[in-house]
Structures are given as C-alpha cells and as structure tokens.
Structure 1
C-alpha cells in the first residue's frame, strides 16, 4: 500500500482511506453489519489504515460498527471521526450544529466509548458553528489533545479564512471536503490553496461523486426511498441527464486505459497532489479492491488536460446539497 502524509510533518496514512458512512446511513442497500465488518477487515488486510466515520452517521451506529471491526487491530488503523452535527430524534430531517466548548468534550467522550478506543487519531469538527468563534471550538479540541484523547485535529467543509484562524490556535492536520470531478469547489473557493499555504492535508470525501462517477447509476428511481441521492439536486431531472452525459464522455477515456470510470475518477483525484488522501466509501469487497487498483493508474498531463476539457470545475449540474445543507458549507 502506498502512503501519504497529512500536512507538513503530520501523520502518515494509506494513500486512500475507507469512508464508512454508507455502511450505516444515507445510502440504500446497506446490507448487514457482518458484511460491513468484513469489508473493513479486508481494507486493513490490504494495507488501508485510514478509516473515516462520524458520530452522526446512524446516528452513532457507524462508530460502534467501526469499533467492532477494529477490535484487536488497533495498531493497524488510523481512526478519524467527527462531531458537531446534532440530529433531532423526533425529526430525521432536522439537524443543528454545535461547536460549543463543553459539547466538544462531551462528544469526544461519547465517540471514544462507541469506538472502544482510548485515543482518536484525527478528530474533525464536522461543520463550523456560525454561533461559536472557531477559536473557541478549536481551543476545546486542543484541550482534548492535551488530555491524550485526540492525536490530531481537523475541520470539515471550512472556509479558507476559518482555516487560517483555526491554525493560529492549534495545528490543523487535515481539512475534509467534498472533492471530485463534479465537485471542484476547493479549487475555486480558496480552501485547497489555503491548505497548501498552511501545511494542512486535504481529505476529499465522495471522490466518486456519491457513486455517480462510476457510471453504474442510470436511474434515480433505482435508489431506496431512504437513500439520500434520491432527493439530491444533482440526481434530479435535467441535472441527472446532463451529469450522466459528462460521465459517459469521461468513460471513453477510461476505456482507452482499460479501467473503469470509477477508477479513472479516483485516479484523477489522486493526481491532484500528494497532499490529498481521498476516502471513497463502499459496502463491497470487490469495489474496494477496484478502488485500491486506482493507485496504480498514472495520468499524464495530456490525460489531465483531456479530462479537464470534458469536466471543467463548473461542469456539474445542480448543487451538492439541498439549500439547507448548502448553507452550512464553507463557513
């Protein structure tokens, strides 16, 4: 397994990680816990060390699942989890953001218990709380490092300005944001540049466009009713058709290489810099192996230019999230 380093002098992890969210939440066809645990164990066997979860996935059940999967293999794994998004038990569509210092401590203690570990390797604030200064939230996170409960700190979907303010309080190892051929906001909103200026690693989530860039999704009606993508703007009506045409265009390049569209899309993310560690998620061992194989695909400058001509930064049709979700990004 190839490795990469998160930030300047930060932790070394596998060059790709495994996003575990879909094993417990938001996507349909989740299967059994036993199947999910088998996928996680296979990932560890193949040398993947970075596992990504969050307290709101499930909610809470994904951390418990990951904790069961890594039992007895703590030395083989680098655990990243997140706090800050609070769900309303009475309304599955309602959620709030909490970055208050006292909540940071409470959330960390709860995650440690569910994961059944003593220390979280990378602890992210899932979304920035607009009501709490980032200095206060990161200050509370820094105290977790002092207590030995967390090793490294991260932010998710934070703006460049927030990153710079946070880095003055404590070293930030990583920024996690959506980044793929159809979600290239970090290139245009300054966050990727800020990460490189500050020596912060970049962890792209959904590098396969929530599965869309694999070319296997042909009809949104095939999704289960509780699948997030069934209601996502990019999967609706004309947006879906326009985005599908883009994927089909990229598929021709994948055929030239004798690889799948998903492998090409993942190779594109990997080619954007050694400071990027994407975390594609999957619930199947076959797809996991397919993702790992993308590490061996080398894209030339001509290849990248050809892809960029087909799929420039603003090519995707529709927003990444519904309006309410978009408001919580890049704060």
Structure 2
C-alpha cells in the first residue's frame, strides 16, 4: 500500500493520480461493517488530492463566516439590480454537492434563492425537448437558482448508465453550448461547478452513507454502481468539459476530497467572478490552486500547473 509523508496544510503539491494496486477495488464491500484500512488510509490523497489532512475546523468556521457575509452582499445585489444568477453543481456521487449547496444558502433569503433538484423525468417530460424542464426552472429577475445536478445529467449519469442513446449524448454536447449562449446573451449569469473526488474517497463516503441512518436516504441504485463505473465517469466528465466549457459559461473544477476546503473554494469562486457591490477582497481571500482548477488545468496533465500560467 502506498503511503504519504505528512505535509503542512498550507503546502499543496500535486501528485500522480493513483498509486494503489488495482485489486483494492475488489476489497470494497459497501455492506461490510468496516471500511478496509487500505482504502481508509488512501482516501484523502486519492485522485491526486494535494493535502494529507482536512482543513482545521477552526480555520474553516472563521473563513466560512466571512464568505457567507459576502454572500449576503451578493444576494442583495442580485435582488436590487434585478440580476439572474444560475449556479450549476455537478460531480460524482458522494463528492459533496449537497453539503456545499447547504453552506452556500444557509443564511440567504429563501424568497430569492432556491435550489432545484429535479427527479427522473415523467412520461410527459421524457417526450419533451431535453432542455425544456430545466428552462422552466431558470431564475426570474432578482433571483439566484442553484441546480443540484442539471441538464448535464445527459453527459454524465445518463451516458454512463445507458439511460440515453449515444446519438442523444452527441446531440446534447452540440446543443448545450448553443442553449447556454442564448441564456447568457439574455443576461443570465451562468456559473458551472464540477466536484471531483478520488476513487478511495468515493468508497469511503458511500460506505459512510450506507451505515449512517441519517445519510442512508442519499443512496440510490446509481450510487451503488458508482464505484464500478468510476473510470467511465472520468471519461464522460472529461468529454463533457472539453465540449461545453466556453468563454461565456466555463467549467470550474473543485477537488472535493476535503469537504471543508471544497465548500470554501466554491463560495470564493462565485464571489470572485460576480461583480456585486461593496466586495471585500480581503474577506474573500485567495483561491487555493490545489483545490480549484480551470477546465484547461483539469484536462492538462491531471491538474498540474500550466507553464505559461494560463489558468
């Protein structure tokens, strides 16, 4: 089993993606009472995550409070300026989408901020244009809408699990940038976030859901199949980003092995790219380049810094 030396929480360093023997996947049993030590030990550093340990709770809480105060300014600006803001949260099962959304919306007025998590399409919706039911959920003036999964289901879970035909995925990858261009041309601000975690971290989180009665409801048949399809999801996400990350609606990738760092990185990113009033740059702080990646960095050498600094 590969082991890593302890490092300072403030010194991120990218490493190769996966050094454990492939048979570690055969060791995983979601129903077993205990997670195999090899998986538990490797979880934090899996997938090339650059930290050995979680961010301290004390630092997290202090920074989260400052960022949530800035979010209140952002929401006020959206309301007063009659802006329309859409934030898309995509990612692997267990990557932390729900927790990030909860901290984002925790202190915001639900009258002008809402979360959309659509179920499987009904028989009627299945016969409609694919984007139709998502268009119905777009924000009105003065509103923020967060999508907990989105139209990008077609390029992820639907493709990997065979819920759509290959030609439907191809059509989606062609149409999505066109549709999003129409939205942004009409004034909608669109922020797209993809949360990614390593294979051992996914195993650890799905195992925890299985054995925690307060989290067991999160598991679905799709979650149970996630581990076996880890590589297929990787290929699907790479292709999705390559085809649909544009200048007007770029993808931002968040390494989510540490939920605390991921939540802070997501809020920082949204605050940074949104021109709200009275922005406090000191409160927002600097981005963690070990956790937040542009589409180009993510697709280039597994997240290694790019020589020319183009991030």
Higher relative contact order, structure no. (Cα contacts within 8 Å, ≥ 6 residues apart): 2
Check whether TM > 0.5: no
TM-score, normalisation: structure 1: 0.32
**Which structure dedicates a bigger proportion of its chain to strand?**
1
TM-score, normalization by structure 2: 0.33
